Homo-oligomer: A and B are copies of this chain.
Amino acid sequence: MIATKGYAAQNSTDPLAPYNFQRRELRANDVQIEIQYCGVCHSDLHTVRDEWGGTIYPVVPGHEIVGRVTRVGADVKKFKQGQTVGVGCLVGSCMECNNCREGLEQYCDIGWIGTYNGLEEGSSLPTYGGYSNLIIVDEHFVLNIPDKLPIEGVAPLLCAGITTYSPLRHWNVGNGHKVGVIGLGGLGHMAVKFAAAFGAEVTMLSTSLEKEKDAKRLGAHHFALTKDPTTLSKLKNHFDFILDTVSAPHDYDLYLGLLKTNGAMICVGVPPGTTEIDGWNLLANRRSLSGSLIGGLPETQEMLDYCAEHNIVSDVEMIDMASINTAYERMLKGDVKYRFVIDMSTL
């Protein structure tokens, strides 16, 4: 076992504190990475506070990881020492089911291993995430980070980026499509950038007029204040796709009615509990309510390469490790444009 240092939640009430913990030994297919930057995702906060249940304390969060390769196992083929690489939400899956074979590891039939709060393959050791000085990951789950991008802006691509890129690609969103994006946060701001880059006509759907200027700066062509009934009635049967990035409870029916015939509303966030829908909103116009979960490894690499080619990164605010609790509080208020990224040299 390798002793490493991380910023861990001891339990749901204790203050976060630096913590020494054990990583697995380097295996033949493993890559050891010195972590340079880690994005701060809402999932980190949910897990730290055990809001989804099942948190194994102490937990080291973080699944938007970029860093440098410091060691490679004997059988590693894709990576070498010194290379800049990334790790996203997954560090393991069965590799044998149809989904894994198709590069859809996020839909692994057996269940994938999360970058944190999972269990290391063949071990009772928990997986620890990116609020740490190093991580050891099977090379299949490691991504090449193209040289030309500022790597602190790349970190959030590994969750917020791929989570929005994947459904837009799966549903072939592009020229001629009208796309609505619900919510302008970490996910939403990437959804706007990608949908605009793919050639769609993008409308930011928001409850706050303050978001208009920034939404347009990020690439949105239109802004719609969703609490204004007149605005909404004008958008009835309007969109080919709506990407719903909101995890707080909200009214699905309000948005389903904005889809044109064969339109799909694709959820990438999940409100707690259940959400009510009126089936007539699906039958009318043959609409779909769909979901999409992060992305598989091949598609994540494709996204990183696409971002390098089109100069797309996340808008980030850098923080040091000691500011994480303040950052969580600000995230809860939506006070971040649009992703906190921890500089791991401050750990």
Contacts and interface: CB of A to CB of B under 8 A. Distances in A.
Given A286-B170, A288-B264, A274 B277 contact: yes
A283 interface: yes
A289 B286 contact: no
Contact residues of A: prevailing secondary structure = mixed
Contacts of A261: 98-99, 104, 107
Contacts of A70: none
A293 B283 contact: yes
Interface of A: 98-99, 104, 107, 109, 167, 170, 237, 253, 261, 264, 267-271, 273-293
Contacts of A269: 279
A288 B286 contact: no
Contact of A109 (B107, B237, B253): B237
B292 A286 contact: yes
- Closest 10 CB pairs between A and B? A282-B291, A283-B291, A270-B279, A274-B276, A288-B290, A283-B293, A288-B288, A107-B261, A289-B289, A274-B278
Contacts of A292: 283, 286
A282 B286 contact: no
A49 B253 CA distance: 27
Nearest to A284: B293
Nearest to A170: B286
Contact of A267 (B167, B268, B282): B282
Contacts of A170: 286
A137 B267 CA distance: 43
B291 A107 contact: no
Given A104-B261, A288-B264, A290-B288, A277 B280 contact: no
Nearest to A262: B170
Contacts of A264: 288
Contact of A107 (B276, B277, B281, B286): B286
Nearest to A104: B261
Contacts of A276: 274-276
Contacts of A275: 276-279
